[in-house]
Chain A
Amino acid sequence: MGVAVLLKQVPDTTAKISVTGGRVDESSITKWSISPYDEYALENAIKLKESGYGDVVVITCGPARASKCLTEAAAVGADKLIHVVTESGSLDSIQIQALLSAAVKESSCDVVMCGKQAADTNSGSTGPGVASALGYSCVGAVTEVSIEGNVISATRLGPLGLEEVEVETPCVFTFDKGDTELRRPNVRGIMMAKKKPIDSLTSDDLGVDTSNSMVSVESHSSPPEKPPGQKFVGAESVPAVVNMLRNDANVI
């Protein structure tokens, strides 16, 4: 019993990203945060815990800096912190899923939660990948969960509206942004978080071979700059604006 939350530390959505020599320059990123969808996973895990479902174990896979996101999670109520230490950007998705799955097994949690995709890579593969590696069922893009016995019901946005899905544990949920309000940390939480030990594990500790990555990133580049905005002043420009809204932007 217990909920494992997979957290990824990503550049804050407001951080400036610069590319030098065909690589994102990590040292120029001033703020790292928990990937936004993962925050919804964490919030829902804490809610589940408050309704009596075991401890919340947060697991991150990443370089030394990533441990900060575990402490941040502890400040809002995570009980156990596991850091799978890897070099930044060195592994492919399947290797990361293998490491995370091994860490989930180690935590003996039977419910796994994570964001539906990470704010940096947006690949959306972690949740389903971990479910497949562990042989758990997987429900994607949920916004809320509640538990009754060993059946968890989840709400997700389906093509025709809200869907209610019931699933037995063990299972994986990936989270979308819903109406759930994220809790703010407080001083007491921060002080307790500081005292919580972080369990640091390597791929060797977890018995996962990460020597052969199947993907190699050749280079990064910045997206093309947006064309500058246009300004229209005065009544005489109305026809031109209407024309552009109709034919270029297709909004009217």
Chain B
Amino acid sequence: MAYEALDFYDIDSLLTEEERMVRDMVRDWVEERVLPNIEDACRDGIFPDEWRVEIGEMGILGAPLKGYGCPGLSYIAYGLICQELERGDSGVRSFASVQGSLAMYPIWDFGSEEQKEKYLSGMAKGELVGCFGLTEPDYGSNPGDMITRAEDRGDHFLLNGAKMWITNGTIADIAVVWAKLEGVIRGFIVEKGDEGFSAPEMKGKHSLKASVTSELVFQDCKIPKDRLIPGVKGIRGPLSCLNNARYGISWGAIGAAQSCFNSAREYSLSRIQFGHPIASFQLVQNKLSWMLREITKGQLLAYHMGKKKDDGSWIPEQISLAKMNNVDMALEIARMSRDIHGANGILDEYPVMRHMANLESVKTYEGTHDIHNLILGRHITGIQSFTREP
């Protein structure tokens, strides 16, 4: 059966021809290359290297960035790319999000001319893989209190500390690492093979199994002076990267939800119980119509957010709402879809349990669901409630 993405309000008609072509290219790739292999990749706990090569060849990495060999697509196109990749698997979308929004973006926006020339075009082609080191074992939701430190040693910096939960870490050629230099958060580019740097993989995940997650360890890690990212100081640096990635996730979640919806719809039409397809029962129809309703709202939210990203009229709180809402609805839909599939829902023959487990990570990373609630709460009331200290 052909994949027909749910598009109840005809978002398709709002897209440019270029956006549609990019979307279809990624959709076809996911259909041909990801879906037949994703369960094996998850079982083996790997992100197949040929996916990196092929994603690079499609030219979609760092989608909305312009110049230095980057694609220069619209934010809508970037969103559609995330949607299609995550319809395959959140792990595949994570690879692209981290590469484009978290590793390429800070170099593109805050890097020196030499850094941009050195890294960006290779990263856009997927030849150089990047990762983003912000989270630490003891500092997740409040990265501002991070421990990792950089010391100025005259002709080089010395980095000490550890990062955790770093997507792409072990397979990365470069890491954008956030560390405190004289008490101020700064970005540093650490290269694979730098003295005192290692990136052991974290094992045992029940979620995002086809994505590489790693620790980054810095023990008197010596890096040249020109690897300091000059253009940004303070928590604003990492947060501005997160804005782009979170925006992409708000589309990605739609892809996962569409996949779960399609599977639930097909399954409920063919599964006969009490002499009738379960799709003919009102309780099941109620679930399907709820899914349709939530996905449609999520699409309008993401599309409008994309337009605002494209014309520059957005505020970060709007992205928080989109990320939080769409991941929340996708996770609920995955659970509901699992329920509609009955026992079959737990098998790897259907994508739903995998999406469901993946979305648990997506709910937590890039600002947990509740951290986005707090961001909105502060926006509404003017009172921050992240911490009790004034």
Q: Looking across the interface, which residue of chain B has its beta carbon closest to that of A185?
A: B25
**In the complex, are the beta carbons of A187 and B28 less than 8 A apart?**
no
Q: How many A-B residue pairs have CB under 8 A?
A: 44
**In the complex, are the beta carbons of A15 and B25 less than 8 A apart?**
no
Q: How far is the CB of B245 from chain A (nearest CB, A)?
A: 19
- A12 CB-CB contact with B under 8 Å: yes
- Rounded to whole angstroms, the CA-CA distance of A30 and B13 in the bound complex is 12
**In the complex, are the beta carbons of A75 and B21 less than 8 A apart?**
yes
- Rounded to whole angstroms, the CA-CA distance of A12 and B2 in the bound complex is 9
Q: Looking across the interface, which residue of chain A has its beta carbon closest to that of B20?
A: A68
Most buried by A among B1, B21, B25: B21
With A184-B57, A187-B22 known, 6 other A-B pairs at CB within 8 A are A75-B21, A185-B21, A185-B58, A190-B21, A191-B18, A194-B21
Tell me the residues in window 272-305 of chain B with beta carbons closer than 8 Å to chain A beta carbons. none
Q: Looking across the interface, which residue of chain B has its beta carbon closest to that of A190?
A: B21
- B239 CB-CB contact with A under 8 Å: no
- B374 CB-CB contact with A under 8 Å: no
Q: How far is the CB of B88 from chain A (nearest CB, A)?
A: 15
Tell me the residues in window 1-33 of chain B with beta carbons closer than 8 Å to chain A beta carbons. 1-2, 4, 17-18, 21-22, 25, 28-29
Other-chain contact of B60, A12, A15, A71, A187 (Cβ < 8 Å)? A187
Tell me the residues in window 1-48 of chain A with beta carbons closer than 8 Å to chain B beta carbons. 12, 14-15, 30-31
**In the complex, are the beta carbons of A15 and B2 less than 8 A apart?**
yes
**In the complex, are the beta carbons of B25 and A186 less than 8 A apart?**
yes
Other-chain contact of B17, A30, A184, A185, A194 (Cβ < 8 Å)? A194
- A188 CB-CB contact with B under 8 Å: yes
- Rounded to whole angstroms, the CA-CA distance of A191 and B18 in the bound complex is 7
- Rounded to whole angstroms, the CA-CA distance of A31 and B18 in the bound complex is 16
**In the complex, are the beta carbons of B25 and A190 less than 8 A apart?**
yes
**In the complex, are the beta carbons of B18 and A186 less than 8 A apart?**
no
Contacts of A72 in B (CB 8 A): 21
> How many residues on chain B are close to A (CB under 8 Å)?
19
- Given A72-B21, A191-B18, A194-B18, check contact A186 B57 (CB 8 Å): yes
Contacts of B18 in A (CB 8 A): 190-191, 194
**In the complex, are the beta carbons of A184 and B1 less than 8 A apart?**
no
Contacts of B21 in A (CB 8 A): 71-72, 75, 185, 190, 193-194
- Rounded to whole angstroms, the CA-CA distance of A184 and B26 in the bound complex is 10
Contacts of B22 in A (CB 8 A): 187, 190
- B221 CB-CB contact with A under 8 Å: no
In order of increasing CB-CB distance, the 7 nearest A-B pairs are A14-B2, A187-B59, A186-B59, A187-B71, A190-B21, A186-B58, A194-B18
Other-chain contact of B2, A31, A190, A194 (Cβ < 8 Å)? A31
Q: How far is the CB of B68 from chain A (nearest CB, A)?
A: 14
Contacts of A15 in B (CB 8 A): 2
- Rounded to whole angstroms, the CA-CA distance of A249 and B63 in the bound complex is 52
Q: How far is the CB of B307 from chain A (nearest CB, A)?
A: 20
- B73 CB-CB contact with A under 8 Å: yes
Contacts of B57 in A (CB 8 A): 184, 186
Contacts of A30 in B (CB 8 A): 4
Contacts of A14 in B (CB 8 A): 1-2
Tell me the residues in window 235-279 of chain B with beta carbons closer than 8 Å to chain A beta carbons. none
- Rounded to whole angstroms, the CA-CA distance of A14 and B63 in the bound complex is 29
Q: How far is the CB of A236 from chain B (nearest CB, A)?
A: 23
Q: How far is the CB of B210 from chain A (nearest CB, A)?
A: 21
Q: How far is the CB of B272 from chain A (nearest CB, A)?
A: 12
Contacts of A12 in B (CB 8 A): 2
Contacts of A188 in B (CB 8 A): 59, 71
**In the complex, are the beta carbons of A184 and B59 less than 8 A apart?**
no
**In the complex, are the beta carbons of A187 and B73 less than 8 A apart?**
yes
- Rounded to whole angstroms, the CA-CA distance of A94 and B63 in the bound complex is 46
Q: How far is the CB of B184 from chain A (nearest CB, A)?
A: 37
Q: Please name 17 pairs of A and B residues whose Cβ atoms are closer than 8 Å in the assembled complex, sorted by A.
A: A12-B2, A14-B1, A30-B4, A31-B2, A71-B21, A75-B21, A185-B25, A186-B58, A187-B22, A187-B59, A187-B60, A187-B63, A190-B25, A191-B18, A193-B21, A194-B17, A194-B18
- Rounded to whole angstroms, the CA-CA distance of A225 and B25 in the bound complex is 33
- Rounded to whole angstroms, the CA-CA distance of A102 and B78 in the bound complex is 42
Q: How far is the CB of A18 from chain B (nearest CB, A)?
A: 14
- Given A187-B58, A187-B59, A187-B73, check contact A71 B17 (CB 8 Å): yes
Contacts of A187 in B (CB 8 A): 22, 25, 58-60, 63, 71, 73
Q: How far is the CB of A72 from chain B (nearest CB, A)?
A: 7
Q: Looking across the interface, which residue of chain B has its beta carbon closest to that of A183?
A: B57
- Rounded to whole angstroms, the CA-CA distance of A72 and B28 in the bound complex is 13
Tell me the residues in window 159-194 of chain A with beta carbons closer than 8 Å to chain B beta carbons. 184-188, 190-191, 193-194
- Rounded to whole angstroms, the CA-CA distance of A12 and B24 in the bound complex is 13
Contacts of A68 in B (CB 8 A): 17
